[in-house]
Structure 1
Amino acid sequence: MKNSPFFTPVNLGLHTLKNRIVLPPLTRQRSTQPGNIANALMAEYYQQRAGAGLLVTEGTQIEPRGQGYAWTPGIHSPEQIAGWRLVTDAVHAKDGVIFAQLWHVGRVSHTALQPEGAAPVSASAIATDRVSVFIETAPGAGELVTPSAPRALSTDEVQELVQLYIQAARNAMDAGFDGIELHCANGYLVNQFISAHSNVRTDPYGGSLHNRLRFLREVVAGVAECIGKEKVGVRFAPLFTTTDEARTYLGLVEEDPHTTYIEAIKVLEAVGIAYLSIAEADWDDAPEMPLTFRRAVRDTFSGAIIYAGRYNAETGAQLLESGLADLVAFGRPFMANPDLPARIANDWPLNPLNPATVYGGNAEGYVDYPTYSE
């Protein structure tokens, strides 16, 4: 694989990446409590994986209301910014490029995670189903629960949230990140505005698809103006199936996903951001993303395109060779193989992932996976 397209340079914004292998955002729930602060253990984890062409952090909430799972990190307090500086310094010491994924879960939350036990916020007062959130029940312990019913944001509050995204992007720059990725997938807040299933607003942020894309448009444009469009990426998770697995694992399924997401991608192209990341269905027997959609994405968006799904070295290389993707992200393999790029280059075998240590805990199953030794 040393001569595969994975190891040819590629431009992304201001950077020429050393390879086309991406560490995608992966929730790991190791932040310091109280305060949801990134820490030295997290810095070690990301530094171990700095051989990727691009690293994208786990979702980091832009404000206290943006949290849907216990122990996930934030990027809205001075302590959180300082904690992330540990991470960016560690990655840059290994010549890595790292973007922060900015996250707001919207209605995918619980009153136990909200300031003063308030209801979660969303585009509309419509509860989500078939998903769970994780709340702390004791120090270091928690449980999965059904999300609480949300309340609809007022028009003024929506505009305030745009400013919170912009401030989070500023905070990411203060923390030393090379850029930010806006989490607009998986049924979280931006996705809740885009989807007709979760947005029944009658103000300028609801109704037509153009209006439902307004929140996305304002957040992307505002963040790009603040930190530079070449430092901005966006993640979507278009779904082309109505199976229960789709709704459980990736969120909202549109009546016409092709049109919805091509129109959303046109918003990104108009701003001129650095990259688009597309999360594919990745469960057993998941449906293939239509080739017609992949081609439309390539025809619509001129920046770098990343795909994440159940790729291995061979299928990822084939996708790159097709010209439909510029980079490929590997989630589970990268959790268990901190030296994944070297393993791909040399056809070395992979460590298996221990599912029991993915979420929460300490160093076990986080920074103790071995690198390859011949």
Structure 2
Amino acid sequence: MTSKTLFEPYALGDLTLANRIVMAPLTRNRAGAGLVPNELTATYYAQRAAAGLIITEATQISAQAQGYQDTPGLYTAEQIEGWRKVTEAVHAQGGRIFVQLWHVGRVSHVDLQPGGAAPVAPSAVRAQTKTFVNNGFVDVSEPRALDLSELPGIVNDFRQAAANAVLAGFDGVEIHGANGYLLDQFIKDSANQRTDAYGGTVENRARLLIEVVTAVADEIGAGRTGVRVSPVSPANDVASSDPQAQYDYIADQLSALGIAYLHVVEGATGGPRDIAPFDYASLRRRFKQTYLANNGYDLEFASATLNEAKADLFAFGRPFISNPDLVERLKTGAPLAPLNPATLYGGGAQGYTDYPTFAG
């Protein structure tokens, strides 16, 4: 096997991907009025349609689920129609696209919440992190603990958003269970101090994630459903006292549901891979479907990992921002264009749709 194997088709559920290179979800804070994706969004994703699979920026399942300024939703008719323009543009270029669905939980601010309410969380524990609101980074607000009676509604919001995704033309959805957002807050015991059926044991802390995934898979099909997890990432101030046992259990449960893929952030999100000891090979063994590896991969590392059969697909994040033709650049050995960090969050076309393709 050679690095060219990365550029060969791959069967993901009922889909055939053009290659094994995945565009990772990347928050860009450019949704329009009503948190609706616009024509610029469609252009941005269509430019990157050569990826084997695009996973969109994280997208709210409800108004309560929002944690950052100008991030898109998928719970109104206008949002569905906006996303339909995106999926049509990507499909016209031969691409495949999943939407990442999230609820941010406690990583939010009262200025973003309906009626100025407190953000919700498994427990009333404030995260030591910031969010982007009112065109700046500020401390997140104090959350309130979700009542047991509210959890079925959140499960249903994920289910309905998945149904909306199909209406919008997406090929599938990725459930965001990583990086310290709501589902991850339930999983990690630094944020989850509950004493009911959703707290305490490994099984209880995974319960909400499994209920959400089950509901989504029942709604749109397991073959259209993926899940992202981050076993040891400290993103947004979460930590687990027993990550190996916790995620071995989650991998077993998700494998039994037959979902399309498990997307694993290996190490700290966007940071060191060796931040904490963890046996990712155990997840690979336990999860019988597609393993999507994320964090710190380049062509050489991804090719070596594929040769060793340690993963099936490989997520590339920020390189896709400044290199809309990343797949071709990797395939031909062309140099990668640098990223302009000043244009990552918010704004318009600059640093979004104006990165050039390689001229050769």
Same-fold call, TM cutoff 0.5:
yes
For 1:243, the equivalent position in structure 2 comes to: none
Amino acid at match of 1:133: T
**What does the per-residue CA deviation read over 1:205-234, in whole Å, with 9 as the maximum and x for residues that have no partner?**
122111111101110101100100000000
1:336 aligns with 2:336: no
Matches within 5 A, 1:123-134: 123-129=122-128, 131-134=129-132
For 2:58, the equivalent position in structure 1 comes to: 59
User: Is 2:55–2:100's contact at 8 Å kept on the other side of the alignment?
Assistant: yes
How far apart are the structure 1 equivalents of 2:269 and 2:313?
A: 17
For 2:6, the equivalent position in structure 1 comes to: 6
Matches within 5 A, 1:167-186: 167-186=160-179
How far apart are the structure 2 equivalents of 1:3 and 1:256?
A: 36
CA 289–368 in structure 1, closer or farther in 2 if over 3 Å, else same = farther
For 2:293, the equivalent position in structure 1 comes to: 307
For 2:184, the equivalent position in structure 1 comes to: 191
Amino acid at match of 1:193: F
Could you say what the CA RMSD is over the residues aligned between the two structures, in angstroms?
1.5
For 1:317, the equivalent position in structure 2 comes to: 303
For 1:45, the equivalent position in structure 2 comes to: 44
**What does the per-residue CA deviation read over 1:126-155, in whole Å, with 9 as the maximum and x for residues that have no partner?**
1111x101112xxxxx11111111111111
1:287 aligns with 2:274: yes
How far apart are 1:288 and its partner, in Å?
Answer: 6.3
How far apart are the structure 2 equivalents of 1:158 and 1:282?
A: 27
For 1:139, the equivalent position in structure 2 comes to: none
SS in 1 for 2:337: coil
CA 255–366 in structure 1, closer or farther in 2 if over 3 Å, else same = same
How far apart are the structure 2 equivalents of 1:296 and 1:8?
A: 26
Query: Where in structure 1 do 4 or more consecutive aligned residues deviate above 6 Å?
Result: none
For 1:25, the equivalent position in structure 2 comes to: 25
Match of 1:352 among 326, 335, 338: 338
Question: Identity of aligned pairs, percent?
Answer: 49
TM-score by length of 2: 0.96
How far apart are the structure 2 equivalents of 1:285 and 1:260?
A: 21
**What does the per-residue CA deviation read over 1:70-124, in whole Å, with 9 as the maximum and x for residues that have no partner?**
0000001111000000100000001111000001000000100000000001111
How far apart are 1:286 and its partner, in Å?
Answer: 4.7
SS in 1 for 2:279: helix
CA 54–289 in structure 1, closer or farther in 2 if over 3 Å, else same = farther
Match of 1:261 among 247, 250, 275: 247
How far apart are the structure 1 equivalents of 2:341 and 2:243?
A: 31
Match of 2:196 among 184, 198, 203: 203
Matches within 5 A, 1:126-165: 126-129=125-128, 131-136=129-134, 142-165=135-158
Could you list the runs of 5+ residues in structure 2 that have no partner in the other structure?
A: none
Greater shift in the superposed pair: 107-116 or 274-283: 274-283
For 1:232, the equivalent position in structure 2 comes to: 225
How far apart are the structure 1 equivalents of 2:18 and 2:6?
A: 9
User: Is 2:127–2:237's contact at 8 Å kept on the other side of the alignment?
Assistant: no
How far apart are 1:308 and its partner, in Å?
Answer: 1.4
User: Is 2:179–2:269's contact at 8 Å kept on the other side of the alignment?
Assistant: no
For 1:166, the equivalent position in structure 2 comes to: 159
SS in 2 for 1:268: helix
Q: How many residues align?
A: 359
For 2:261, the equivalent position in structure 1 comes to: 275
How far apart are the structure 1 equivalents of 2:276 and 2:331?
A: 27
How far apart are the structure 1 equivalents of 2:272 and 2:213?
A: 34
How far apart are 1:9 and its partner, in Å?
Answer: 2.0
How far apart are the structure 1 equivalents of 2:125 and 2:247?
A: 22
Amino acid at match of 1:15: L
Amino acid at match of 2:55: V
Amino acid at match of 2:231: P
How far apart are the structure 2 equivalents of 1:80 and 1:259?
A: 39
For 2:15, the equivalent position in structure 1 comes to: 15
How far apart are the structure 2 equivalents of 1:38 and 1:202?
A: 40
How far apart are the structure 1 equivalents of 2:231 and 2:221?
A: 26
Could you list the runs of 5+ residues in structure 1 that have no partner in the other structure?
A: 137-141, 240-245
How far apart are 1:260 and its partner, in Å?
Answer: 1.1
Amino acid at match of 1:110: H
For 2:284, the equivalent position in structure 1 comes to: 298
